[in-house]
Structures are given as C-alpha cells and as structure tokens.
Amino acid sequence: MNTLDPQSSGGATLADEGTGGTTDAPVRDRKATRTALLGAMFLMATSAIGPGFITQTGQFTVKLGAAFAFAVLVSILIDIALQLNVWRVIGISGRRAQELANEVLPGLGWVLSALIFIGGLAFNVGNVGGSGSGLNILLGVSPAVGAAISSLLAVGIFLSAWAGAAMDRVVVFLGALMIALTAYVMFVSKPPVGEALQNTVAPSTIDATVITTLVGGTIGGYIIYAGAHRLVDSGNTGIEAVQDISRSSLLGILVTGLLRGLLFLAILGVVAAGHDLSQSASVAGDAFTIAAGDVGRRLFGLVFWAAAISSVVGCSYTTVSFLTSSSGTSTRVRNGVTIAFIVVCTAIFLGLGAAPATLLVLAGTLNGVLIPLGIAVMLWVAWFRRDLLHGYVYPKWLLVIGSVAWLVTVWLAYVTVKAKWPELVALFS
C-alpha cells in the first residue's frame, strides 16, 4: 500500500524537507493515510449532497412530515450495503470501476464510462447553476456571476501543485460547514424530535417511491465511485487496507445521512409549527428563513452554495476518473482534463441557463440503469474473480446483503425507465 502519493500527502517526506533523517516517516505515513481516507469519505458524502439533495429533502419532508424519517433510515441502510461492497472491491483490487468492468467483459468499462460522462455532464451543469443560486442568495450577485466565480474557485483547486490534497481539505471543510450551519437552524426551528424518532421505526406512512428516489440521489451515477476512486489515486489500496476502506465507506454514508437528518428536522420544525410550505418554490430556503429570519436565509445560501460547489468538484473529479487511466495518465493531464470539464459545464450553463432538456432526460434515464449495472460488476468480481482481489477471501455476509440491495437498484432502474420512457420517445421522435 502506497500512502505517500503526493496527491494525498500534501507534501514531501520529512527527509526531503531537510530534517536530515527519516525516523518520523511512519508518523508521516499515518497522517497522510488519515488525510486521504478522510478526503475520500467526504468526497463521496459531499458529492451526494448537492442542490438536488437539498431540494428533494425539502419536498419529501413537506409531503410525508415526520414519516420521512423512516424513508431516510431505510435508504441509509441500503446505501451502506452497496457502498461497503463497491469500496471494498475497488479498494482491494486497486483498480477503478471501468477497469474492473473491462476485466469482467471487454468493452463494458467503456460503456460504463460513457454513461457516467453523459450523466456527469448534465448533472454538473446543474451543480454549477446551484453554486450561482447559492451566491445569489448569500451575496446578492446574479446567478451567472455566482456560477462563474464558483467555477473559478473549483478550477483553482485543480491548478494547485497538490490538487489531491487541496481537494481533500476543501471537501472536508465544506462538509463540516454544511453540518454545523444546518444543525444550528435545526435547533432554532425546534422540531418534534420524539415524533420523528417514533416514525423512524413505526412510520405513519411508507412511500416506496421516495425511498428509491433517495437511494438513487445518494449513490446514483458517479457518486458511489467518488470516494473509492480517490482511494485508488491516493494509493490507499490492497488487502492490508481493508479495515480503513470499510470504515471510510461506512462513515461517508453516515455523514450524508447525518446532514439529511439535520436538514429534515430543520424543515420539520417549521412545518410542525403550522407553516404551509406546499406551494413554496424553495422549501428548504423558506424553512431556513422562517426559522432564523434574514440570517437563516443567508445561511441557506451558504449551505446551498457549499453543497453545489463541493458537488462540482466531486462530479468533475469522478467523471474524469472514468475517462483517464489510474496508471497511464499523468496527474497533470488528469487535472487539465478536469479543468476543461468544469469550463465546458460552466459555458453550457452561462449560454443556456441549464443543460439541454434532451440531455437531462437522457441522463436521468441512463443514471437509473447505471446503478445496477455498475454494482453488478462489483458483485461479480467479489463472487467470481478472486484473482482481481489478490486472493482476498470475500465475506459471504457482505455479498449477501450487497446482492439484496442490488435488487433494490434493479427495481429503481425499472421505475426510472418506465417514468422517463414517454419523454424519451417524445424527444427523439
């Protein structure tokens, strides 16, 4: 396991810094490993926490009230079962998802990469737009100017000589910021926590569609691979790293679940107080404003911006990781392609105001298909390709729960394609 990749360590060894010795190298190794693992964990979490995440949480809280707690819990359990398998297979093998797919079936990896690229392009235009909206609420600048500023900040990360380390630190900071701000608004709104806890295990309403939507929004498309691919690039791979890999994947999902829970409770407090948000254009934004006044509105703008800009970084990094090789592509080239991807997404938003409708519908449909396809590859490697896992004996219990959760993604794909099919036919006819 190589833990001193310059992308993850953020600097040279102590000997290189002129200390005259290397006795502290193991300490440096451990620190570099912790930084990379923390970065991978938050990269996955913040990639999932985008503008759509916030919008969905607001809409479903208004729709289900306290019963939304059950949907959040079930979606987290499904996400854990899937992420534990995806991270473990990629982490132990030391190969990216598309590379494993090509080993399972030649050419399948390129299909996976094409699906990721289409979805990543469409959704990242939305992330760029979300960053503009966030700065509009926070600072009053126009959404176009806000989007341009945010994109320049994202580009700056990948222009850094230590882009990987910079990205790790930025996503950790933004993730912690969103949690702290949302927790503050949650306390101010005074939600009925007891009712929410009761509905977690005994819901008054169960909506399967909401659960599948949450699963797709949390691990759909590129999101499930974001943290695992970061592990590969930082060198934290192999059988000896399995405990760190499992812990990071679990904590990443829990961070995502924590923020969704805090956001849910913040909005629930406003709804429970008798405020009607059913006709609101921005449920979460109005809830923050009602709970904490103008300060709440500004805080929402900051949270929305942080969610959007971190998703721009995560989406761009992960999408490009499917277009480049982990070993055959230099860091400079990979960062250059990532910057170009951000620039293209920003140009589309500034020119059209959003991704083309055809691209959005197509991306949404392909995203539903992509989830079970990619996870099927991971499970196939775990079940039948022990050679790709360097002889690792895969836990059967983990395979079983992963396979059961995979069936949920198959249902999600069916529901998505069925819902989007009329639109696809209309667009391409």
| pLDDT of res. 41 | 86
pLDDT confidence of 30, banded at 50, 70, 90?
low
Average pLDDT, integer, range 207-229: 83
Q: What are 303-335's pLDDT values in tens digits?
A: 999 999 999 999 999 999 999 877 777 888 899
pLDDT confidence of 421, banded at 50, 70, 90?
confident
Question: How many CB atoms sit inside 10 A of residue 208's CB?
Answer: 12
15 has pLDDT over 90: no
Q: Name the residue with higher pLDDT: 370 or 110.
A: 110
Q: Name the residue with higher pLDDT: 236 or 202.
A: 202
Q: What are 57-78's pLDDT values in tens digits?
A: 898 999 999 999 998 898 889 8
Average pLDDT, integer, range 136-162: 92
83 has pLDDT over 60: yes
% of residues, the chain, pLDDT over 70: 89
Q: What are 365-419's pLDDT values in tens digits?
A: 777 778 889 999 999 999 999 899 998 999 999 999 999 999 988 887 887 778 7
* Residue 103 near residue 119 (C-beta atoms within 8 A): no
Q: Residue 222, SS3?
A: coil
* Interatomic CA distance for residues 134 and 307, integer angstroms: 9
How far is the CA of 302 from the CAs of 131, 134, 352, 353, in angstroms? 9, 6, 25, 21
3 has pLDDT over 50: no
Q: Name the residue with higher pLDDT: 137 or 218.
A: 137
- Rounded to the nearest 10 degrees, the angle between the axes of helix 108-139 and helix 357-384 is 130
Q: Domain-by-domain residue ranges, the chain?
A: 31-126+162-292+355-426
* Interatomic CA distance for residues 298 and 110, integer angstroms: 43
Report pTM.
0.86
Q: Which residues, including other chains, have CB under 8 Å from residue 235's CB and lie 6 or more apart?
A: 1, 2, 3, 4, 5, 8, 36
Q: Name the residue with higher pLDDT: 281 or 105.
A: 105
Q: Name the residue with higher pLDDT: 118 or 353.
A: 118
| pLDDT of res. 29 | 65
Least confident of 11-15, 103-107, 190-194, 256-260: 11-15
> Rounded mean pLDDT of the chain?
85
